[in-house]
Amino acid sequence: MSDTITIRRPDDWHVHLRDGPMLARVARHTARQFARAIVMPNLVPPVTTVEQAGAYRERIHAAAGPGFAPLMTAYLTDRTSPEELSRGQEEGVWIAAKLYPAGATTNSESGVTDIVNIRPCLERMQQIGMVLCVHGEVTEPDVDVFDREAVFIERILEPMVRDFPALKVVLEHITTRQAADFVASAPANVAATITPQHLHLNRNALFAGGLRPHAYCLPVVKREEHRLAVRKAAVSGSPKYFLGTDSAPHAREAKESACGCAGIFNAPFALESYAAVFEEESALDLLEGFASHHGADFYGLPRNEGTVTLQRTEVVVPAEIDGLVPFHACESLSWRLAG
Ligand code: DOR
Ligand code: ZN
């Protein structure tokens, strides 16, 4: 068995880099692992204008240093104008727009309250080939939190894909068999990102020996049956599934709290975490497609030049990195990204 894996430089198609002091702490971890990343716009206030996104991109450049390209997204609200989306795309600022159902997750209060409100935007995006990134969960309080993704697919996503058949849609951070099946049977303009945590954890992990705030993210991890379905999709070799870490750092106090924030900080060992899964599934030869080809191809961007190498070496993930608790804290992983 080989002791190194060399793949084309990968990208992260879904990450939260935050702003201010948190951005300064986390940006270099993503930049070390990835050439490009799609940066989520759920700041306070949300990134809704081309000017805000351009300025945020500059702050990311300053924090991450050279050699890393942040790709910016527009935060859709009930009032987003199609013109703002077109303008940002023409100016080379937006790569995609993000649909947060209002109240679905962190800083989604300004999100979309009814999908009808963004129909003109979806129409325009379909026309100009702009990707829609979707947080796929309904927010109705009578829907069980573990069912919110499956219900979203049924009530919102299926009709949307039918009504906008040429719209490019990425269902983000899929967590269920229903999501994996929906994407598999949808046309080629519908894809999904998959996080490391949804490949490693099932919902038992939330309660293993006590309440585990660092395993809490949204969409929440699901039953084992669903984890296995998402794993199967990730290692299927299908170009519809690609890497999106959803690394979402929160201060330790905000996680370890009576009302802890959702989000897992997985950036420092992201590739290593995915490699562990692909190895367990005897699919290391498919890691490169998932990490470095499928996303770029879907977004219509060139694949990166250059390569990265993972070396087989046991590494224990620190309990804390820059004051944050990383995914896999205190666990041992068997690959490490060289350099
Ligand atoms: O766990 C999550 N954290 N899921 C999201 O959708 C948002 C993210 C965050 O921004 O903290
Ligand atoms: Zn996210």
CA of 64 to the centre of ligand 1 (A): 21
CA of 92 to the centre of ligand 1 (A): 26
Locus of tokens 């620190």:
318
DSSP labels for 226-259?
A: HHHHHHHHHTS--TTEEE---B----HHHHSSTT
DSSP labels for 106-161?
A: TT-TTSBS-GGGGHHHHHHHHHHTPEEEE------TTS-GGGHHHHHIIIIIHHHH
Going residue by residue through the chain, which has 339 residues, state the pLDDT in tens, using 9 for 90 and above: 689 999 999 999 999 999 999 999 999 999 999 999 999 999 999 999 999 999 999 999 999 999 999 999 999 999 999 999 999 999 999 999 999 999 999 899 999 999 999 999 999 999 999 999 999 999 999 999 999 999 999 999 999 999 999 999 999 999 999 999 999 999 999 999 999 999 999 999 999 999 999 999 999 999 999 999 999 999 999 999 999 999 999 999 999 999 999 999 999 999 999 999 999 999 999 999 999 999 999 999 999 999 999 999 999 999 999 999 999 999 999 999 998
CA of 111 to the centre of ligand 2 (A): 14
Exposure letters 75-86 (e unless 16+ CB within 10 A, then b): bbbeebebebbb
The pLDDT value recorded for residue 82 is 98
Tell which one of 23, 197, 212, 218 to mutate to probe ligand 1, the residue whose CB is within 8 A of the most ligand atoms. 218
Query: Which ligand number lies closest to the CA of residue 198?
Result: 1
- pTM here is 0.98
CA-based torsion, 215, 217, 223, 229: positive or negative: negative
The pLDDT value recorded for residue 339 is 81
Strands 169-171, 190-194: parallel, antiparallel or unpaired by DSSP? Answer: parallel
The pLDDT value recorded for residue 1 is 67
Backbone angles phi, psi at 14, to 5 degrees: -170, 110
Contacts 24+ apart (CB under 8 A), 86-95: 86/124, 86/128, 87/50, 88/50, 88/53, 89/128, 89/130, 91/50, 91/54, 93/50, 93/53, 93/54, 93/57, 94/50, 94/53, 94/130, 95/38, 95/71, 95/130, 95/131, 95/299
User: Ligand 2 is a single-atom ion; what residues have CB below 5 A from it?
Assistant: 246
The span from the CA of 21 to the CA of 26, in Å, is 9
C-alpha 83: how far from chain center: 26
Tell me the catalytic residues: 246
Burial grade of 142 (CB within 10 A; 0-12, 13-18, 19 or more): exposed
CA-based torsion, 164, 166, 172, 177: positive or negative: positive
Q: Which CATH superfamily is domain 9-305 in?
A: Metal-dependent hydrolases (3.20.20.140)
> Between 20-33 and 50-64, two packed helices, what is the crossing angle to 10 degrees?
70
C-alpha 150: how far from chain center: 18
The span from the CA of 46 to the CA of 69, in Å, is 20
